[in-house]
Amino acid sequence: MSEERVSKKPQTALNRKRKGAESAVLLSQINLGEEQRIKTGFSELDRTLGGGIVKGSVALVGGDPGIGKSTLLLQASDKIGENYGEVLYVTGEESKSQIKLRAERLRINSSNLKILTETCMEAILDVLVRENPVVAIIDSIQTTYSLDLESPAGTISQIRECASKLIDFAKSSNVSLFLVGHVTKEGAIAGPKVLEHMVDTVLYFEGEKNYSYRILRTVKNRFGKSGEIGVFQMERFGLLEVSNPSEIFLSEKEKPFSGSVVVSTIEGTRPILLEIQALVSPTSYGVPQRVCTGIDPKRLSLLLAILEKKEDIHLGVFDVFVNVVGGIKVDEPGVDLGVCLSLISSFKDLAVFKSSVVIGEVGLGGEVRGVSQIEERIFEAEKLGLKRCLIPYNNYKAFAHKFEIEILEVKSLNQAIELTLT
Ligand code: TYD
Ligand code: MG
């Protein structure tokens, strides 16, 4: 519960004036101008936005503090400024000189980039109307406040009110906006979550502290596919895009060892190859541990139960560790078979044949089930020079593309084990 004082002036009278009634129009009579997408200079960012920034759209960029949101948007502002016209960067977090310092470090010297340090929403809107930029960035929405409410900046009502004013502005002026939102400890409540339903696009910037990779994930997009990811790398001079992530996530794999399996997952529209590593070792304390990073612990328990029941592999007195290399999180059943094989590989201490990729969902009966976008996945594996590909039997058909890579179809987990680990 949080107490909120109500302003004396009735709010509705302040900011909700009735406009002249608009009449309804036929869908067929609405003319689309040429859909113009503003390119940000980062094809990875464009991809997550569905192909570039749509005019008049509002995108929320959320993420932990320090993950690189301001860096990304400042770098993008530079490129947009160069190619399309003025960009306004409104900051409530840093001073002008701090921004300047960062810009120098990022080697940004755009003549079209304007900085405003302001947190009062009414003032920000005045400047926005006056400057009429192509794109504006509000960093961050949590520092802004509207005079219409008495609650302090950062409260849910202020965040909502400020965002709704900005959204109204974007829709009426055709200026595209990026709103930065920190995911706070109480993330779900006071953070950007409360805005997700209001904005057009929601992007989350994530990454692990110990890796330089950053992943920008589309959680919602009214102008493109959600689930899309963009991969970046944080360097000394800012963010660099990684246009072929599979290469990076696999690059360290020199020779095969037990417990390591390459899988293929689909993120949005893009296939990505990842390495799963498992370690199965006898428990030295009472309760065996199940530790995993990058995959859902519940899914791991389920797969362990299937191994126990269907394959007669009893891991009850073993610690089990599973790790997705590179700090990526996968949330897709197409990697099940790979996880199972990595567990068995570590358990039996047998390496899976070098240069193979394993694709398939594992059902409760130990059967291997089909996955989506199989051809894209095989194609990605072939592109990276892998030699062998295990796919679900149900997915096998006459593929449109002629693959050089050896394709093996499997019906069950049992058959997959026989093919790879004997
Ligand atoms: P920042 O963009 O300020 O994060 P956010 O706006 O999401 O809070 O990023 C800050 C981090 O990025 C900081 O820990 C330092 C690092 N960084 C680099 O490694 N290289 C750089 O060139 C810059 C500008 C930042
Ligand atoms: Mg910042």
* Averaged pLDDT score across all residues of the chain: 88
Residue 305, pLDDT above cutoff 90: yes
Residue 324, pLDDT above cutoff 60: yes
CA-only gyration radius of the chain, Å: 25
Q: Which ligand is nearest to the CA of 142?
A: 2
* 395 secondary structure, DSSP code: G
pLDDT at residue 206 in the model: 85
Region 179-207: what's the mean pLDDT? Answer: 81
What residue has token string 């509207």?
146
For residues 262 and 276, what is the distance between their CA atoms, to the nearest angstrom? Answer: 6
pLDDT-based confidence at 110, cuts 50/70/90? confident
Taking the CB of residue 218, how many other CB atoms lie within 10 A of it? Answer: 23
pLDDT at residue 254 in the model: 65
Give residue-wise pLDDT tens across range 123-145: 999 999 999 999 999 998 999 99
For the four alpha carbons of 43, 46, 50 and 52, in that order, the dihedral sign comes to negative
Helix (H) / strand (E) element for 265: namely: strand 260-267
CA of 97 to the centre of ligand 2 (A): 14
Q: Return the percentage of the chain with pLDDT > 90, whole number.
A: 58
pLDDT at residue 210 in the model: 74
pLDDT-based confidence at 113, cuts 50/70/90? very high
Q: Bigger pLDDT: 211 or 395? A: 395
CA of 182 to the centre of ligand 2 (A): 8
What residue has token string 């002026």?
173
Q: How crowded is the C-beta side of 286, counted as CA atoms within 13 Å?
A: 0
Domains of the chain: residue spans and CATH = 35-243 (3.40.50.300), 248-421 (3.30.230.10)
pLDDT-based confidence at 31, cuts 50/70/90? confident
pLDDT at residue 240 in the model: 92
CA 132 to the chain's CA centroid: 30
Q: How crowded is the C-beta side of 12, counted as CA atoms within 13 Å?
A: 1
Q: How many helices (H) and strands (E) does the chain have?
A: 12, 20
Closest residue by Cα to atom 22, ligand 1, is: 238
Region 23-45: what's the mean pLDDT? Answer: 84
Residue 307, pLDDT above cutoff 90: yes
Highest mean pLDDT: which range of 184-193, 310-319, 389-398? 310-319
Using most ligand atoms within 8 A of CB, pick from 234, 235, 237, 240 the residue to mutate for ligand 1. Answer: 234
pLDDT-based confidence at 13, cuts 50/70/90? very low
CA of 183 to the centre of ligand 2 (A): 12
Give residue-wise pLDDT tens across range 337-385: 999 999 999 999 998 887 889 999 999 999 999 999 999 899 889 888 8
Residue 221, pLDDT above cutoff 60: yes
CA of 85 to the centre of ligand 1 (A): 25
Q: Which of 292, 383, 294, 308 is nearest to 347 (CA)?
A: 308
Q: At 391, list the tokens.
A: 């796919």
Q: Which amino acid is at 251?
A: S
For 153-277, where are the alpha helices, taking DSSP H only?
A: 156-173, 187-190, 245-250
Q: Which residues of 412-421 are buried (b: 16+ CB within 10 A; e: fewer)?
A: bbebbbebbb
Q: Which of 390, 384, 385 is nearest to 415 (CA)?
A: 390
For residues 385 and 131, what is the distance between their CA atoms, to the nearest angstrom? Answer: 52
Report the residue count for the chain.
Answer: 422
Q: Which of 127, 189, 188 is nearest to 2 (CA)?
A: 189
pLDDT at residue 16 in the model: 58
Atom of ligand 1 nearest to the CA of 71: 2
CA of 93 to the centre of ligand 2 (A): 7
Contact 361, 341 (CB under 8 A): no
pLDDT at residue 360 in the model: 95
pLDDT at residue 186 in the model: 59
Q: Which ligand is nearest to the CA of 65?
A: 1
pLDDT at residue 268 in the model: 79
Closest residue by Cα to atom 17, ligand 1, is: 238
Residue 185, pLDDT above cutoff 90: no
